[in-house]
Chains A and B, each alone.
Chain A
Amino acid sequence: MSIVIYIAVMAIVTYLVRMIPFTMFRKKIKSKFFRSFLYYIPYAVLSAMTIPAIFYATGNIVTSAVGTVVAVVLAYFNMPLIIVALAASASALITGLII
């Protein structure tokens, strides 16, 4: 089968999954539970994606852990996203060079 057909199916399904709810929801949601759920969902998704995966991100648990601690400390002091992201990566690289 042509790879282009596979790619078309992937792209169409992925687009519809994104488009239908985003375009159809016009009203403010009334349910207090559902509104609260939607308020917490982004943080919960990111947390579930990050932990424990972040500790395997560099392929070395020690350099990953150092990068994680650096990121948490900088984020705690409200540093900008780009600084936190690059500092995490840089500290893991430096740790890797040392050990």
Chain B
Amino acid sequence: MNSQFKKGLLHGIPIALGYLSVSFGFGIAAVRAGLSVLEAVMISVTNLTSAGQAAGVEIIAAAGTLIEMALTQLVINIRYSLMGISLSQKLDKSFTVPHRLAVSYGITNEIFAVASAQIHPVTPPYMYGLILISFLGWSTGTLLGAAAGEILPLMVTDAMGLVLYGMFIAIIVPPSRKQKSVLFAVLVAAAVSILFKFVFTAVSAGFAIIISACVAAALAAVIFPVKEEAEE
């Protein structure tokens, strides 16, 4: 097996574990909203995203229009466009159009974050490994949640809610320790996000994340512009 592919699989293990717990909850919620087990799994297999899927199930349950469905998915998932542009800047030369078309499917917050944190340009096999194992975690978790409901005791599923966030912490803390500029971006994003949670509560969760992140990244870009060599 290709070593890059294996490396991707390995790096994807924490993502897959986190997805397993989050999609387990999605499976339970989807069936509760009136979907069949097969439909819940179909959504996870074709979408591979948390916030968009949760909103989609609500729209299906409320018998919303297809326009509403399309617009909601567009707004909630627009962050993937930004991530796609960012990731396109650090692709290996072997990334041809067919590889790009295939890897597009797997751009999620977590996969993007892990791929971006790599020092060297990322290769197609690496991305396929990362996406494959994450996909397996996401679809298996949905199936288990939808089919079996409560397999694990509540205390365990509650604690599993921290797996994904723990992984985010592991991604943002080490560079924040090394670079003042990253620490700045992280703190501003957190502060704005807290404002949305407690003060501007009318803003939906998806928009709150987009706005917090853009404000923080823009401020950091103005105050701490990245030098050419720091990028490579």
B148 CB within 8 Å of chain A? no
Contact between A7 and B169 (Cβ–Cβ < 8 Å)? no
Chain A residues lying within 8 Å of B164, measured Cβ to Cβ, are 85
Looking at A6, A13, A14, A53, which has the most chain B CB atoms within 10 Å of its CB?
A14
Q: Annotate A74-88 by CB proximity to B: 1 below 8 A, 0 otherwise.
A: 111011111011111
B89–A29 CB distance below 8 A: yes
CB neighbors of B among A35-93 (8 A):
35-54, 57-60, 63-64, 67-68, 71-72, 74-76, 78-82, 84-90, 92-93
B42: A residues at CB distance < 8 A: 4, 7
Contact A96 B155 (CB under 8 A): yes
Contact A3 B159 (CB under 8 A): no
Please report the number of residue pairs spanning A and B whose Cβ atoms sit closer than 8 angstroms.
300
Q: How far is the CB of B219 from chain A (nearest CB, A)?
A: 9
Residue pair A58, B216 in contact (C-beta under 8 Å): no
Contacts of A60 in B (CB 8 A): 158
User: B100's closest neighbor in chain A, by CB?
Assistant: A23
Q: With A23-B104, A50-B168, A75-B169 as known contacts, state yes or no: A41 contacts B213, CB within 8 Å.
A: yes
Contact B189 A14 (CB under 8 A): no
B residues 103-151 in Cβ contact with A at 8 Å: 103-105, 107, 109, 112-114, 116-117
A59 to B112, CA, bound (A): 27
- The secondary-structure label for the interface of chain B is helix
| Contact call B74/A47, Cβ cutoff below 8 A | no
Q: Which of B46, B53, B103, B209 contacts A48 (CB 8 A)?
A: B209
Residue of A nearest to B49 (CB): A14
Contact A67 B162 (CB under 8 A): yes
Which B residues lie within 8 Å of A88 (CB)?
162-163, 165-166, 169
For window 57-115 of chain B, which residues contact chain A by CB distance below 8 Å? 59-60, 63, 66, 69-70, 73-74, 77-89, 97, 100-101, 103-105, 107, 109, 112-114
Annotate B175-219 by CB proximity to A: 1 below 8 A, 0 otherwise. Answer: 111000110011111101110010000000000110011101110
| CA–CA, A71 and B172, complex, Å | 11
**Which residues of B are found within 8 Å of A81, using beta-carbon distances?**
11, 14, 114, 167, 170-171
Chain B residues, Cβ within 8 Å of A71: 162, 165-166, 169-170
Q: Please give the distance in Å from B206's CB to the nearest CB on chain A.
A: 10
Question: Taking the nearest CB of chain B, how far is it from the CB of A22, in angstroms?
Answer: 3
Whether B218 pairs with A37 at a CB distance below 8 angstroms is yes
Q: Are A89 and B39 in contact (CB under 8 A)?
A: no
A85 touches B167 (CB 8 A): yes
User: Is B35 on the interface with A (CB-CB < 8 A)?
Assistant: yes
CA gap between A19 and B213 in the complex, in Å = 21
A interface residues with partner B (beta carbon < 8 Å): 1, 3-7, 9-11, 13-15, 17-23, 25-26, 28-29, 32-54, 57-60, 63-64, 67-68, 71-72, 74-76, 78-82, 84-90, 92-93, 96-97
